[in-house]
Structure 1
Amino acid sequence: MNGMEEFQNGSEGSFNSEEAESLVKECIDAVVGGDDYSQTHVNKWTASVVERTLSTLVKQGKPYKYMVTCAVMQKTGAGLHTANSCYWDTTMDGSCTVRWENRTMYCVVSVFAVAIP
């Protein structure tokens, strides 16, 4: 575990996934917040979450290209499983996935950060 912490903070250029996770949570809260699931709002919400997350990441001015995905699902008792895989430079590139939920829905956001050489 120690090695991982050193890796996170060691290189100024390396992607800080913890920082990104809290940033993503703030963006989801700002867009969806206390709303209840609504079929008519889902497209607007997902678009707003990815746009807000992306612009917030870019504003940090770090040398990365970003990809952001967002899925919103109504809580119906069904299972929700997600996975992703990346082939890249693990010393510089990074990703994080945030699973957010409230009373009526799940929101899963993934951020992929690829270092600009």
Structure 2
Amino acid sequence: MEASDKKQFTSIKTQIEKIVDDKVDEIFKDYNYDGQNAQEKSNQVAEAIVKEAQQLASKNFKLQAIAMVLNKETSGFHLSASCYWDSTQDGNINKKFDKFETFYVIITLFGISRA
């Protein structure tokens, strides 16, 4: 792939943020925190985000989504994520959703250029 053919993550970041917002709203719209199925919901949203975002990113990027569902009543939480990358091509998204009554959702997505 020629350097001029490389797609920068910044060129699709806004569209991917919308995908993240839409998938969180869709999957958690009627959900109340339940420790028995929080892992299932976490898997579901991460997979849905990557599946739809990968269509947008095509073969230009490898995507990794990390999703966490945390009970508001009992969760103390700290998270860090890091990745070595080319800051001119690669990028990431970190979003915290605290609009739900009983839980938080935190999404971290890395977009790593394949070129």
Please indicate, yes or no, whether the TM-score normalized by the shorter chain is above 0.5.
Answer: yes
Does structure 2 conserve the Cα–Cα contact (< 8 Å) formed by 1:92 and 1:115?
yes
CA–CA distance in structure 2, aligned partners of residues 58 and 25 of structure 1: 15
Q: Once structures 1 and 2 are overlaid, which stretch shifts more, 97-106 or 79-88?
A: 79-88
- Give the aligned partner of residue 63 of structure 2: 66
Within the alignment, does 1:75 sit opposite 2:72 as a pair?
yes
Does structure 1 conserve the Cα–Cα contact (< 8 Å) formed by 2:59 and 2:114?
no
Runs of 5+ unmatched residues, structure 1: 1-10
Give how far 1:67 is off: 0.9
Matches within 5 A, 1:1-117: 13-16=7-10, 17-60=13-56, 61=58, 63-76=60-73, 78-101=75-98, 102-117=100-115
Give how far 1:23 is off: 1.2
Q: Once structures 1 and 2 are overlaid, which stretch shifts more, 70-79 or 100-109?
A: 70-79
Runs of 4+ deviating beyond 4 Å: none
How much identity, in percent, do the aligned residues show? 22
Does structure 2 conserve the Cα–Cα contact (< 8 Å) formed by 1:100 and 1:107?
yes
Q: Once structures 1 and 2 are overlaid, which stretch shifts more, 53-62 or 99-108?
A: 53-62
Give how far 1:62 is off: 5.2
User: What is the root-mean-square deviation of aligned Cα atoms in Å?
Assistant: 1.9
Give the TM-score normalised by structure 1.
0.81
Give the TM-score normalised by structure 2.
0.83
Runs of 5+ unmatched residues, structure 2: none
CA–CA distance in structure 1, aligned partners of residues 105 and 75 of structure 2: 14
The number of residues matched between the two structures is 107
Q: Which amino acid aligns with 1:90?
A: S
